[in-house]
Amino acid sequence: MTRAYERKKEPALVRRRLLEHGARLCGQQGVAGLSLQEVAETAGVTKGGLLHHFPSKQALVEAIFDDLMQAFEEIVQREMASDPEPFGRFTRAYINGTLDLIGREDRGGWSALMMSTLTEPSLKRKWVEWLDGHLQQEGRVDADPMLELARYAVDGMWLSGFFDAHDLHGSPAETLRRQLITLTRKP
């Protein structure tokens, strides 16, 4: 007896595809416009397959957010590891990581999810916990008012980049980056 073609199950790969396609669609349509059916179709799985990994739209959105936050955490950690100066290290990593994301082609998913922190309490809580965790861990070396000002400024640049309100690419962005990094150095 011959067996019909059987596709090897690769749950980790399927989950990864769902997260990537979900993030892309969030960037294109916003979180409110995200459809589980469309995510499943673009990822090449059934809606039932998607629901196996993520039992609700909320679970999918939170998993996408967690995935993107993990990627951002890796960027911040890499930046911090290469910075020998303790004072302002986290803030410099935060500035560089944020500005690098503004220039990325796939920033739409990041932007849509970060904007959702304004209206979605669970995402807001995750973001605040992440940021507070770093600020507590870094203690006094990132508590300086100038460092706080630099973090607020880069948050404003992120928001401006989301709305494409200003040219935050090339030379203007690099000039602003240098000025913000200057704020993070000990006086």
* Residue 4 within a domain: no
* Residue 3 within a domain: no
Domain harbouring 38, CATH code: 1.10.357.10
* Residue 135 within a domain: yes
* Residue 22 within a domain: yes
pTM metric for this prediction: 0.85
CA distance 35 to 24: 12
Counted domains in the chain? 1
Q: CB–CB of 89/80 below 8 Å?
A: yes
pLDDT (tens digit per residue) in 89-130: 999 999 999 888 877 666 667 777 777 888 889 989 999 999
CA distance 115 to 22: 16
Task: Report in angstroms the alpha-carbon separations of 44 from 16, 48, 55.
Answer: 12, 12, 17
pLDDT (tens digit per residue) in 2-39: 554 455 678 889 999 999 999 889 888 888 889 999 99
Query: Which residue range forms the structural domain that includes residue 167?
Result: 11-183
* Residue 30 within a domain: yes
* Residue 5 within a domain: no
CA distance 162 to 149: 20
* Residue 2 within a domain: no
CA distance 177 to 154: 9
Where helices occur in 54-106 by DSSP H, the ranges are 57-81, 89-102
* Residue 124 within a domain: yes
Q: CB–CB of 152/135 below 8 Å?
A: no
CA distance 74 to 32: 28
